[in-house]
Each structure stands twice: as structure tokens, then as C-alpha cells.
Amino acid sequence: MAQETTLGLPVPPRASALMESLRSFGYDMATALADLVDNSIAAKAAQVRVEFSTTEGQSWVAIVDDGTGMDEGALHEALRFGGEGPTAWRDQTDLGRFGLGLKTASLSQCRLLTVLSRTADGLACRSWDLDHVMRVDDWEVLPTADPEALRIADEVGFSGIGTMVLWRQLDHAGEGRVLAQRLGQARVRLAMWFHRFLSTGVLDLRVGQRSVHAWDPFWRKWMATQDLGTEFLGPDGEVKVTPFVLPHPSRLSNQDLDLGAGPRGWNAQQGFYVYRRNRLVSAGGWLGLSELTINPQARLARIEVDIDQHADSSWKVDVRKSRVLPPSTLEADLARLAGAARDASVRAFRQRAVTLNRNRGGEITFGWLPRQRDGGTDYVVNREHPVVQGALEAPSKDSIEALLRLVERTVPVGLIAIEAERDETRTPQAALEQADEQEVRTELTAMLVGLPEDPSSRARVVRALASVEPFNRFPGLVAELTADLSTDEEGT
């Protein structure tokens, strides 16, 4: 019996509703511009300029390149939503993926998108005007250039072969100072995302009058930057991973500190940097890998990851090309390499956290020493330190003041922070907070030996000791020991 064939009924989307919805993909100024720079690189452009006017009521942004340009047919397809989808074959230099970038990126910032493109055969134009689409509620693109678009093209010097993408009616991008600030912030992020193209001279990128200079997350030019070696992951070794550990901040100049921090600051820039065809698509963060979180002591760890050009689906590259998630089969290896980089970063802070005082003989003397106790670490003043010995052997106001300054200035804050981060289940507590009565008796007896001779001064010290941890938990013990002390004095 022949199987019946059911004919489907077309349900085309409403143009006006869907186009408004597509404006909410989450682009900001920087990610929108980056999508258009991707297109220019795919068109083999050597120079891309972002020109703009911030005049209130007449603001516009134009992205101009000197690429191969598009004729009428190619431009018409380029303005089609979903033109070349993710399954289409793409050239090695093509940074596209979904066939949406030019349209969704642009319309996320403006209501009127005009593209002028010139080849040896002449000038072609197409415009998406959201107000026109709303009126006709159909997928109608406007085929001719309006006088204002041509005037702006002349103003920015678009006269040769290449493409100009023009944004007008900037309802989301802003105008005036807001637009200028957003473009300035975008320039910094573009320097990061396209740094490989910029550093090799393949691309000359400008925003207004300012050139965009490459920002290398790994600062290979710093001699103290550690390269932990490269591994190739995946069945065919298609994922290249190289962990780096940047120098401790104390080894950098103030200028290098500012440069190394990147667009989002040292803490936020730690983590993985994933590249897709030399374009950075994920800058910092730990890719959602379990137990890997932002940690101040790990902020020197940055890991370079290059994925194969056909790995978009397995790495879940999003429409904006700004977020990725690794395949589950690679998570263990990525976590292992990340752990090595994070450990190296922590070691750099550990080595720096303990202030080293070198005497003339070259020996190292620490103000504080770690002591393992009850599964944790306490820090005690080093009795062998020359300043401490001086105060013990010849107590005076000056020697005691020197001792107090040593204690104040050399508290191992960095090491204490590291210990706390290693075990987040532990509650911070004083060294004697969990001590039993016998231990407290020993400590208090030692402290009472040094009481002042004056009775009123001795009484003040005893009251002060009795009010603080852990002695306030043992009022009977304090009374007993101070009573014994008074009896001994009377007998003497």
C-alpha cells in the first residue's frame, strides 16, 4: 500500500515582528562592530575604518573597508537573513557562521542599515529600513541609495573598491557623548579580539582618527612570562592549548600593569582565550568548567586555545561569536591544563607574599613563620628574628616599638588569603579560638609573667586579657591564675 504524502503548509514569519525580535540577540557596540570587521576580513580587506558623527539628531556610524566588494547579486544575498547558514562551506579566511551577523549586529544598534559596495563593475546598494518593514510587514529591502547615504560616503572618502556599512537612526547605539564613549570602549575590545591580525600587519583598523593597536593577552614580550608548553587535544589533535602565567605585578612597571590588565581588569581577564581562525571569540573566564572560578590568586593564568575551523558546532559558538562552550570530551584535559596554570599563578603570589629580608650575609629571615596545627596553618612571630631578639634581650621603649612595627608591617596577608582560598569550608578563626583549658592556661601563664610591677597597671592588663578571645571563655581560670599571682607576691 502506497504511503500517503502529507503536504506541509508554509508558515512564514511576520517580517515586522521577527525583525524587531532579532534586535535582541545581546549585541553591544563592540560585538556589533566586531561582526562587521569579520566580514571585512573575509572580503580580504587590508584596512577597516570606523567613521562616525555624534551630532545630536544626525548621528551615524560607517564601517568602511577596502575589500573585494560585492556586485548587485552578492550584496542582495548578503542582506538576506540566514543567507549562508552554519552548514555552508566557507573559505579558510571566512569568519562568518550563521548568515546573520551583518544584519543582526547592525540592526541591534540602528533602525536604518544601508550597505554600499563597489566592484570594478560599479556601485551597488541595499538598505533595511525597519520603519518601512513595519509599514509593509514584508521582507522588502530597499535597492537604491538615498542622497544622505551618498553624501556620507563622500564625506568619509568611500570612493574605491570595497564596502561601506552605514548605521543611521541610532536608537540603541546612542548619540553625542554616549555614542563617543561606546565607540571608545569598543576600540579597546577590538584591539583584543583582532590582535593577531593587527600585530602581523594583516589588518589596519581605525576608529575615528585613532589606530587600534594589538593587545596580546599573553604578553610574550615580557621576559618573565611563563610558557607552560603546548598540548594538542581531541581525536585528531585539532585543539591547540598553551597555558601562560604572567609575571607577578610587582615585577611590572605601572604602565605595564595598566596594559596587562586588559579591557576588564586583571581578575576578569584570567582564564581561557579561545581563537577561531585567528579571531579571539572568548576572552577570559573558565568556560563553565566545574570547580574553576575567578580567584584573585589565579589572575596571572591565561590559556590560549585554538579550535579547528569546523569546530563551531561542537564548541557551541554563539551568533555574536563572543561565547563558547567546550565539548564534554575535552573538559577533563582543559581542566587539567587550567589547574597547572592556576597553581603556577598561586605559587607566584606565595613566593611574593612572604617578604624576604636579606641581611649582609645573604641569609633570609622571616618576620612570621607558618605552623601546622589542627589540620590548618597558624602564623607565629619568629623569635629568631634580630628585631625580636633585640626586644627580648634588652627591652626598652625603642626596642618594643621596633618589634611592634615588625609585627604590623610583616603580617603574611597573602599567605593567609591563599590558605583560606584552598579550603573554602573553613571558617576564619583566631589561633587559640578552639584551644582547650590546658592550652589557654599555658598561654595565659606565660603572658602574666611579664605584667608591670605597678598594681594599678597590672590590674588594667589583667582586665584587658580577661575580655578577649580565648581568655573571656575561661573567667574562672583567669581568676585562679591572677589570684595565685597575688598570693605569690604577698608571700615574697
pLDDT at 163 over 90: yes
Q: Residue 133 falls within a domain, yes or no?
A: yes
Provide mean pLDDT across the span 380-391. 73
Q: Residue 220 falls within a domain, yes or no?
A: no
- Same structural domain, 253 and 367: no
- Same structural domain, 90 and 238: no
Q: Residue 347 falls within a domain, yes or no?
A: yes
Q: Residue 413 falls within a domain, yes or no?
A: yes
Domain around 100: 15-211
Q: Residue 492 falls within a domain, yes or no?
A: no
Q: Residue 221 falls within a domain, yes or no?
A: no
- Same structural domain, 409 and 474: no
Domain boundary at 381, 400, 428, which?
A: 428
Q: What percent of the chain has pLDDT over 90?
A: 50
The reported pLDDT for the residue numbered 228 is 94
pLDDT at 457 over 90: no
Extract long-range pairs of 137-143: CB within 8 Å, 24+ residues apart.
137/14, 137/15, 137/16, 138/15, 139/15, 139/81, 140/15, 141/76, 141/79
- Pair 113, 166: CB distance under 8 Å: yes
- Same structural domain, 338 and 368: no
- Same structural domain, 111 and 191: yes
Instruction: Please state, in angstroms and as integers, the Cα–Cα distance from residue 401 to each residue in 322, 391, 397, 408, following that order.
Output: 56, 9, 6, 11
Other C-beta atoms within 10 Å of 174: how many? Answer: 17
The reported pLDDT for the residue numbered 218 is 95
- Same structural domain, 372 and 448: no
- Same structural domain, 381 and 439: no
The reported pLDDT for the residue numbered 75 is 95
pLDDT tens-digit map of 277-306: 999 999 999 999 988 999 988 999 999 999
The pLDDT confidence band at residue 324, using thresholds 50, 70 and 90, is confident
Domain boundary at 185, 211, 237, which?
A: 211
Provide mean pLDDT across the span 421-439. 56
Cis peptide before 470 (omega within 30 of 0): yes
Q: Residue 454 falls within a domain, yes or no?
A: yes
pLDDT tens-digit map of 73-85: 999 999 998 755 4
Domain boundary at 386, 413, 428, which?
A: 428
152 or 373: whose pLDDT is higher? 152
- Same structural domain, 193 and 290: no
Distance, first Cα to last Cα, the chain? 120
143 or 94: whose pLDDT is higher? 143
CA–CA distance, 349 with 343 (Å, rounded to integer): 10
The pLDDT confidence band at residue 380, using thresholds 50, 70 and 90, is confident
Q: What CATH number corresponds to the domain at position 194?
A: 3.30.565.10
- Same structural domain, 93 and 182: yes
- Count of structural domains, the chain: 4
The reported pLDDT for the residue numbered 250 is 79
- Same structural domain, 40 and 145: yes
- Pair 117, 101: CB distance under 8 Å: no
The reported pLDDT for the residue numbered 413 is 61
pTM over 0.85? The answer is no
369 or 114: whose pLDDT is higher? 114
Provide mean pLDDT across the span 344-363. 59
Grid coordinates belonging to 290: 566545574
Q: Residue 139 falls within a domain, yes or no?
A: yes
- Provide the residue type at 396 as one letter: S
Average pLDDT, the chain: 82
- Same structural domain, 471 and 364: no
Strand runs labelled E in 47-160? 47-53, 60-65, 112-119, 122-129
The reported pLDDT for the residue numbered 290 is 85
- Same structural domain, 74 and 149: yes
